[in-house]
């Protein structure tokens, strides 16, 4: 597995990413971040990718059912400081990474591929 620059992803990046994913999931499930106009318990964290230096965490998230995904991710990005504050109490690392929230489009992509396969099999 490689990152976007073509460098191999280290075990440490994978381990820290998984640790942050677990912590974010629990924060969202318990609605601990108290983000205005957003019920975080309906948000699924599908993956967290860490930068080489572990200072940036890209969290790929998807709201339940995918409804208003772009709007909810925009709100998450705006209030990422609240999520980061709660995360700092859950995860012990040398540097707490900056959180970037991105829409996970892998399910849409998989569905598109599946539909194309079904069409060719007809």
Q: What is the CATH number of the domain that holds 109?
A: 3.30.300.20
What confidence score (pLDDT) does residue 11 get? 92
Q: How many domains does the chain have?
A: 1
What confidence score (pLDDT) does residue 66 get? 72
HSE toward the beta carbon, residue 97, CA cutoff 13 A:
24
The answer to the question of residue 110 being in a domain is yes
What confidence score (pLDDT) does residue 100 get? 94
Domain residue limits at 102:
11-121
The per-residue b/e assignment along 27-56, b for 16 or more CB within 10 angstroms, e otherwise, is: bbeeebbebeebebeebebeebbbbeebee
Q: Measured between alpha carbons, how far is residue 25 from residues 12, 18, 103 in Å?
A: 20, 10, 15
What confidence score (pLDDT) does residue 1 get? 60
What confidence score (pLDDT) does residue 6 get? 65
What confidence score (pLDDT) does residue 105 get? 81
The answer to the question of residue 1 being in a domain is no
- CA 49 to mean position of chain CA atoms: 8
Sequential pLDDT tens for the chain (122 residues): 666 656 788 899 999 999 999 999 999 999 888 888 888 888 989 999 999 999 999 999 988 877 788 898 999 999 999 999 999 998 888 889 999 999 988 777 777 788 788 788 76
What confidence score (pLDDT) does residue 42 get? 85
The answer to the question of residue 37 being in a domain is yes
């Amino acid at each position: 597995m490689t990152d976007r620059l073509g460098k191999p992803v280290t075990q440490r990046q994978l381990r820290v990413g998984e640790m942050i994913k677990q912590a974010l999931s629990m924060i969202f499930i318990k609605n601990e971040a108290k983000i205005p106009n957003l019920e975080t318990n309906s948000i699924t964290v599908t993956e967290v990718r860490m930068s080489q230096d572990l200072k940036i965490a890209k969290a790929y998230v998807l709201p339940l059912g995918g409804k208003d995904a772009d709007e909810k991710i925009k709100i998450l990005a705006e209030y990422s400081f609240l999520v980061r504050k709660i995360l700092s109490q859950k995860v012990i690392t040398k540097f707490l990474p900056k959180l970037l929230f991105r829409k996970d489009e892998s399910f849409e992509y998989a569905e598109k591929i599946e539909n194309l396969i079904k069409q060719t099999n007809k």
